[in-house]
Amino acid sequence: MAGVVYAATGKRKTAVARVRLTPGTGNIIVNGKDAKEYFNRQTLLLMVRAPLVETGTESRYDVIARIEGGGKSGQAGALKHGLARALVEADPSLRSEVKRAGHLSRDARVVERKKAGLKKARKRPQFSKR
């Protein structure tokens, strides 16, 4: 079991997380920092740990992640998605549990692009009668 690495990719908005799962004690390292230090909000930490807590494997694996793009919230979502996929790769019997909790589906909501002639994606210029 030692030396086994499970890898997966998670995405959210424009953030991409490359996640490596190894048997360990429950440490989460993100871009070379501890997760508590990297994600400085408690809600983001809860989101990241959700797949581990849901499956009861929070002290069984160490997580090492490289995250690029997006902001902290999108990065946390990408890490959650990648972590869920890596867990399923590590133990396929967890798939139904993780899927039921909604951690396997990629949140497809992204920022809508700005259109020509509009001020933002949908905001129109103010009407002027004269």
pLDDT tens track for 49-78: 999 999 999 999 999 999 999 999 999 999
* Per-residue pLDDT tens over the stretch 77-119: 999 999 999 999 999 999 999 999 999 999 999 999 999 999 9
Enter the pTM of the model: 0.90
Instruction: Tell me if 44 sits within 8 A of 76, measured CB to CB.
Output: yes
In a domain, 121, yes or no: no
CA distance 103 to 54: 10
Residue 63 belongs to a domain: yes
| Number of domain units in the chain | 1
Whether the pLDDT of residue 2 is over 80: the answer is: no
- Residue pair 74/12 in contact (Cβ under 8 Å)? The answer is yes
Kindly indicate the confidence band of residue 3, based on its pLDDT and cuts at 50, 70 and 90: confident
* pLDDT above 70: residue 17: yes
Domain of residue 76, CATH code = 3.30.230.10
- Cα–Cα distance measured from residue 5 to residue 13, given in angstroms and rounded to the nearest whole number: 26
pLDDT of 23: 93
Residue 67: φ, ψ to 5°: -120, 135
Question: Under DSSP, is residue 74 helix (H, G, I), strand (E, B) or coil?
Answer: helix
114 found inside a domain:
no
Domain annotation covers residue 72? yes
Helix (H) or strand (E) holding 63: strand 61-68
28: pLDDT confidence band, cut at 50, 70 and 90?
A: very high
Q: Please name every residue paired with 90 in a beta bridge, in sequence order, or none if there are none.
A: none
Give the domain range for residue 13: 6-100
For residue 72, the model assigns a pLDDT of 95
